[in-house]
Structure 1
Amino acid sequence: MDNNLQLRPLEKEDLNFIYNMRTNPNIMDYWFEEPYTTKEKMNKEYENSLNSDSHRSFILYHANERVGYLGLFDIDKRHRNAEFAIMFDPAHQGKGYAAQATRLTVEYGFNQLNLHKIYLYVVKHNEKAIHLYEKVGFEIEGELKEHFFVDGSYHDALMMGLLRKDYNNE
């Protein structure tokens, strides 16, 4: 585990960093969104999000360098659950940051937001990501047939979840 990883809340000066990832098709395919946005749209989304409690967005740092973007989205205060998502700058992929970054975010969700459950979606053929999420404690809860349209075809997806009581027992 690399103790040099840190989460910091998203700031306006981080938007160019995120823009570069959100316009990269190789990254956005795994976020199940098209790689299309504008800096102006991102600025407006950021400004609108300042008064919202529906998500927590973070920049992941390693040794004072931005390496990724992650967060908890669609936070449901009544049912106390949220969706987890993560993306890394291509220059920092494959360096072993994902498990600890996921744990940092999960711990924030459980310990700061008092969430009961954190869930995510992953394409079924992304075995590396599935293994990583299982390593953190997520379990497969269901399969969604041909749920995401990526790179010209439909792909099955898995919904994975992690309950607070199960995470704390690890």
Structure 2
Amino acid sequence: MLTLEAFTEDDIDVLIDWVPSAEFNHLWGGSRFTFPLDAKQIVAHLQTEEVTALMLYHGNQRVGYIELFRESETTYRLCRVLIGEAAGRGMGYGKKMVELAIEHARKQFDANRVNLTVFEHNHHARRCYESLGFVIDKRTSVFHAANGEIWQALYMSKAI
């Protein structure tokens, strides 16, 4: 059974272990975090009032991380969506985690809209979001990634 629970300090080292490289860090966290990820950055980020950090559990095992960022009283942005271990990817955990986060936003915060940003070349994530009814609102012109490549970012949203 998959459940979404509040992220705690006990989860910090697990999250750090899930981010193995600068490129992965940028794909997951954008420009918010520098590599190597460390507890100081995470703790400072979680002190942001608008951030609600959640951990996905399969039974007692941590399998994913996601954030809800309050943009307004009724709109939340899904951020830093991550299925931790590579072996857990492609098993439907990401889709279920996003569904649970949307439900959390709706029930806990009375949200009626969620949005997100995904890099265009992240095809697996993009397909997951599209399968859940997210639509592309706009594209950014360019985004400079950690390794100097230019990445296109897509802004997607969904009424809930």
Q: Which runs of 5+ in 1 are unaligned?
A: 165-170
| Structure 1 residue 30, shift from structure 2 partner | 1.7
Larger C-alpha radius of gyration, 1 or 2? 1
Give TM-score, length-normalised by structure 2.
0.85
CA RMSD of aligned residues (A): 1.9
Structure 1 window deviating more from structure 2 (28-37 vs 5-14): it is 28-37
In the alignment, the residues of structure 2 paired with residue 105 and residue 148 of structure 1 have an alpha-carbon distance, to the nearest angstrom, of 28
- Asked whether the equivalents of residues 29 and 151 of structure 1 are also in contact (C-alpha less than 8 Å), the reply is no
Identify the match of residue 84 of structure 2 among 80, 89, 97: 89
* Structure 1 equivalent of residue 38 of structure 2: 38
Q: Which moved more, 1:115-124 or 1:147-156?
A: 147-156
Hey, what's the Cα distance between the residues in 2 that align with 1:117 and 1:134? 15
Aligned positions of 1:22-37 closer than 5 A = 22=19, 24-31=21-28, 32-33=30-31, 34-37=34-37
Post-superposition shift, 1:22? 4.0
Percentage identity across aligned positions? 23
Match of 1:168 in 2: none
Task: Compute the TM-score of the two structures, normalised by the length of structure 1.
Answer: 0.81
> Aligned in 2, Cα 1:153/1:42: closer, same or farther, shift over 3 Å?
same
Structure 2 stretches of 5 or more lacking a match? Answer: none
Q: Provide the C-alpha distance between the structure 2 equivalents of 1:57 and 1:163, rounded to a whole number of angstroms.
A: 21
Among 129, 132, 151, the alignment partner of 2:147 is: 151
Distance 2:138 2:44 in 1: 35
Written as runs of structure 1 = structure 2, the 5 A alignment for 1:48-67 is 48-49=47-48, 52=49, 54-67=50-63
Provide the aligned length of Structure 1 versus Structure 2: 155
